[in-house]
């Protein structure tokens, strides 16, 4: 019986970990915009886990509170405005801006500036390669 429970627990934990890490692209984009770099994958994961425990990230890795995440790492108060974008309007985003690409039911976040991708948390994203920009998070500082 113990082997069965251990096997089920390991499978459950592995699935939870996979879902959590596969949804961290906006987290990485926000931290890129805040000027934060990680020393390695373990450092990045440990940081994400701490943010999850603080309620800044959801259990699945989705960012729940962008301004609080940015303030935690930069020390400045931020504003985050959600805007819809397309292939043309994304070129009007002048500052470094997280942009979501959608393709075939999947989404991926990158950071763009002046219509160019300046940061992509993963290499060779199919969403970016074949998809279209659909949403952005325009960042600013509170006075």
Range of the domain at 123: 2-141
pLDDT tens string 82-94? 999 999 999 888 8
Could you tell me if 59 and 53 are in contact, meaning their C-beta atoms sit under 8 angstroms apart? no
Runs of H (alpha helix) within 40-81:
41-53, 66-74
The span from the CA of 47 to the CA of 133, in Å, is 28
pLDDT tens string 100-111? 999 999 899 999
pLDDT at 45: 84
Q: What is the mean pLDDT of the chain?
A: 85
Q: Residue 20 sits in a domain of what CATH number?
A: 3.90.70
CA angle centred on 18, ends 128 and 30, rounded to 5°: 50
Single pTM value for the model: 0.84
Total domain count, the chain:
1
Q: Which two tokens stand for residue 13?
A: 């934990």
């Amino acid at each position: 019986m113990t082997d069965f429970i251990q096997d089920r627990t390991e499978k459950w934990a592995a699935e939870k970990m996979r879902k959590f890490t596969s949804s961290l692209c906006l987290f990485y984009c926000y931290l890129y915009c805040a000027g934060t770099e990680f020393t390695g994958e373990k450092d990045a994961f440990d940081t994400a886990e701490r943010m999850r425990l603080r309620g800044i990230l959801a259990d699945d890795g989705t960012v729940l509170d962008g301004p609080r995440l940015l303030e935690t790492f930069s020390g400045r108060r931020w504003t985050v405005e959600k805007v819809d974008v397309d292939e043309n309007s994304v070129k009007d985003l002048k500052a470094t801006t997280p942009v979501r690409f959608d393709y075939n039911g999947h989404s991926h976040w990158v950071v763009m500036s002046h219509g160019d991708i300046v940061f992509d948390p993963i290499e060779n994203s199919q969403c970016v390669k074949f998809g279209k920009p659909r949403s952005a998070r325009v960042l600013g500082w509170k006075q």
